[in-house]
Amino acid sequence: MLKAGRNYTLTVSRISEFGLYLQDEEGQEVLLPNRYTSLTDQVGDQKEVFVYHDSEDRLVATTETPTIKVGEVACLKVVDKTVHGAFLDWGLHGKDLFLPNRNQQGGIFAGHSYVVYAYEDSITGRCVASNKLKSFIDNMDITVKVRDEVEIVVASESPIGFRVVVNNRHWGMIYRNQLFRPVQIGDRMKGYVSRITEDNRIDISLQQQGYRQVQDSAATLRELLQANDGFLPLNDNSDPQEVARLTQMSKKVFKRSVGMLLKSRELEMTDEGIKLVR
Question: Do residues 219 and 267 share a domain?
Answer: yes
Last residue of a domain, which of 113, 135, 157?
135
Residue 199 domain flag:
yes
Determine, yes or no, domain membership for 182. yes
CATH of the domain at 176: 2.40.50.140
**Residue 140 domain-assigned (yes or no):** no
In a domain, 267, yes or no: yes
The answer to whether residue 30 sits within a structural domain is yes
What pLDDT is recorded for position 241? 86
Q: Is residue 1 part of a domain?
A: no
pLDDT of residue 178: 82
pLDDT for the residue 168: 98
**Summary mean pLDDT of the chain:** 92
Residue 212 has a pLDDT of 64
Q: Is residue 19 assigned to a domain?
A: yes
Quote the number of domains for the chain: 4
pLDDT at 259 over 90: no
pLDDT in the model for residue 258: 87
Do 222 and 256 share a domain, yes or no? Answer: yes
What CATH number did the domain enclosing 246 receive?
A: 1.10.10.10
- Write out the residue range of the structural domain in which residue 263 sits: 210-276
218 lies in the same domain as 250: yes
Query: pLDDT band at residue 213, thresholds of 50, 70 and 90?
Result: low
pLDDT tens digit string along 136-163? 999 999 999 998 999 999 999 999 999 9
Q: What is the pTM of this model?
A: 0.79
Tell whether 141 is covered by a domain.
no
Residue ending a domain, among 164, 184, 205, is 205
pLDDT at residue 263 in the model: 84
Whether 211 shows a pLDDT value over 60: the answer reads no
Question: What CATH code is carried by the domain that includes residue 52?
Answer: 2.40.50.330
Q: How confident is the model at residue 184 (pLDDT cuts 50, 70, 90)?
A: very high
DSSP the chain: ---TTEEEEEEEEEEETTEEEEE-TT--EEEEEGGG--TT--TT-EEEEEEEE-TTS-EEEESS--S--TT-EEEEEEEEE-SSEEEEEEEETTEEEEEEGGG--S---TT-EEEEEEEE-TTT--EEEES-GGGT---SS----TT-EEEEEEEEEETTEEEEEETTTEEEEEEGGG--S---TT-EEEEEEEEE-TT--EEEESS--HHHHHHHHHHHHHHHHHHTTTEES--TTS-HHHHHHHHSS-HHHHHHHHHHHHHTTSEEE-SS-EEE--
Q: Which residue, of 135, 162, 183, is where some domain finishes? A: 135
